[in-house]
Structure 1
Amino acid sequence: MTGRPTTASAVLPAALRAWLGLIAVLAALTAVVIGIQYAGHSEAGRADRWFIDPTADSVRGTWRNVALATDFWGEPAGAALLVVAAVAGCLLLRHRRGAVLVVVGAALAVVATTLVKSVVGRTIHGADNLSYPSGHTAFATALAVAVALIATGRLGLGRAAGLSLVLGAALVAGAVMGWAQVALSAHYPTDVLGGWCTALTVVPLTAWAVDRAADSRRSDRS
């Protein structure tokens, strides 16, 4: 046995490693720059005002209900349901690494945003509401990227198709959850961007670590 992951078992396909590594570095740098710029702030910045009027009320009517429904999937109960569903799918496919990536990747993304919030100290609607980066956006993006990575490996997609799937999933999940957070006045747009970048930093690194740990155990047994 070579100890190398097969296309079906690896959660970080070889064809995507270099590109996702670069994306993770750029995302981390972006999150750090935004965090430094808005550290200690308690109001919308210039970039935020490009997208929202900070004095405007939240969306109302049907769109508010849509935003609330979307927000639910980033709350503990909704997030747990999504993770359980994703893990169940991985186990049905006998993809243990995928199940580990879903749980650990999503959890680390949320933990990272929680830690960064206390460091940056940006607030919204009062000193107790730390806002940067958005944990809801980080969770949704992390879960989408994890599932997309698993799908890329299982389907044997090449570099172009795999990157398109992973980045497309990240953009859709981040945009949908990010819109809900801004619409509900829970976060500034730059908070959302920070959460999105956090997930793009954490999940590829987690996938690499999961593959490395699994390969190491397999080598020890052989």
Structure 2
Amino acid sequence: MRTDSEPTARPVPLARVPLAVVAVCAAIGLAVLCVLFAGETAGTWFDAWLSARLVELGSPWRQLALVVDYTAEPVGGALTLGALVLVCLRLGHRRAAVLAVLGTGGSIACTTVLKPLVGREINGGFLAFPSGHTAAATAMALVVMLVVARRLVPILVVTVAAGTAMAWSQVLLNAHYATDTLGGFCAALAVVPAVAWTMDRVAGASQA
């Protein structure tokens, strides 16, 4: 029997096999990228080609990139995540609020742990792979879409759009290689569904 006011519609479509497949593929992709870029101090030819074109962009694109980047900076990211949590709570999606915190935090933790293990550098020594900014933006977008959508296609379209926007800002600002952002994107796609699945198992066990 339900004892709270949480909507019957579950905010996390854990039973959907396509989302699980996406998460597994993302985890495999991340592992492959970690191996490929381990110890590298330069980007790929694609990274150099894309960076050369984006870095040349002036106003207002650089200012816009800084705004996008701020939403995943420590202060800006905390404000963005806090707003997402408040909206979820306001709508009665308490599990989604928890997922926003744990999924985003887990994605950032994943990139933080992997950076020294992979050891890929940019700008003279800064660890770059995978991008924590891209992981955070992707994770938050994925949580939002798991709340408002029930089909995989719109979930992925919006999530990819959010991840791409953050990736664009990171490359334009010369903070990451494009392939670093791909790693961050994969990290979020792997971590958020895994956290959601774990939450579902814990909730199921407590109701048994």
Shared fold, TM over 0.5: yes
2:134 matched residue in structure 1: 137
- CA apart distance, 1:168: 1.1
1:77-101: CA deviations, max 9, x gaps? 1111111111111111221111100
Ranges in structure 2 where 5+ consecutive residues have no aligned partner: none
Distance apart, 1:51 and its partner CA: 2.4
**Residue 121 (1) aligns with residue 122 (2):** no
Change (3 A) 1:10 1:199: same
Q: Any conservation in 2 of the 1:113–1:195 contact (CA below 8 Å)?
A: yes
What's the offset of the Cα at 1:124? 0.3
**What's the counterpart of residue 206 of structure 1?**
195
Q: How far apart are the structure 1 equivalents of 2:13 and 2:102? A: 14
Flag structure 1 segments of 5+ consecutive residues without an equivalent: none
Tell me by how many angstroms 1:59 deviates. Answer: 3.3
For residues 35 and 81 of structure 1, the distance between their equivalents in structure 2, rounded to whole angstroms, comes to 30
* Residue 78, structure 1, aligned to residue 108, structure 2: no
TM-score (norm 2): 0.92
**Residue 65 of structure 1 aligns with which residue?**
63
CA RMSD of aligned residues (A): 2.0
1:195 aligned to which of 169, 184, 193:
184
Q: TM-score, normalised by structure 1?
A: 0.86
Q: Distance in 2 between matches of 1:101 and 1:30?
A: 23
Determine helix, strand or coil for the equivalent of 1:59: coil
Quote how far apart the aligned CAs of 1:26 are: 0.8
Query: For 1:61, what is the secondary structure of its paired residue?
Result: coil
Shift of 1:57: 4.5
The residue that corresponds to 1:173 in the other structure is 162
CA deviation string 1:154-175 (max 9, x = no partner): xxx3xxxx11221012111111
